[in-house]
Amino acid sequence: MSHEPVEETVYEVFGQTDRGEPYVQLGSLPAADPEMGLMLARELFSRRGEVISLWLVERQEIHATERLDGDLIRGTDRTYRMGEGYRVTVEKRQRLRRVKP
């Protein structure tokens, strides 16, 4: 009996910890198709109930910049552009949710 390796796709897995929260990359896995990939992702990345939703994205569909692209890291002072206030948006939203019934 021949045991040719099955053609597998590598998927990047993203998870959301709560409604409205951003999807964060959790890891990657190889699988025969999205159905199998999602099933495995559920057991691998949410078995302790960490996430409420999972995304599976084919790695080859991700378009990325060159690694260590020096020009991405600028030399000039750009702190005046930082919208510091927005960083607490997530916190504020969570606080609001706790207050609401």
Residues that bind another protein (CB under 8 A): 1-4, 29-32, 35-36, 39-40, 42-44, 47
Instruction: Output the smallest distance, CB 45 to another protein, in A.
Output: 10
Alpha carbons 68 and 73: distance in angstroms, whole number: 9
Instruction: Output the smallest distance, CB 36 to another protein, in A.
Output: 6
Instruction: Output the smallest distance, CB 5 to another protein, in A.
Output: 10
Residue closer to another protein, measured from CB, 10 or 90: 10
Strand blocks (E) in the chain: 9-16, 24-31, 53-58
Query: Which 8-state DSSP code applies to residue 68?
Result: T
Residue closer to another protein, measured from CB, 4 or 69: 4
Residue closer to another protein, measured from CB, 17 or 30: 30
How would you class 13 by CB atoms within 10 Å of its CB: exposed for 0-12, middle for 13-18, buried for 19 or more?
A: buried
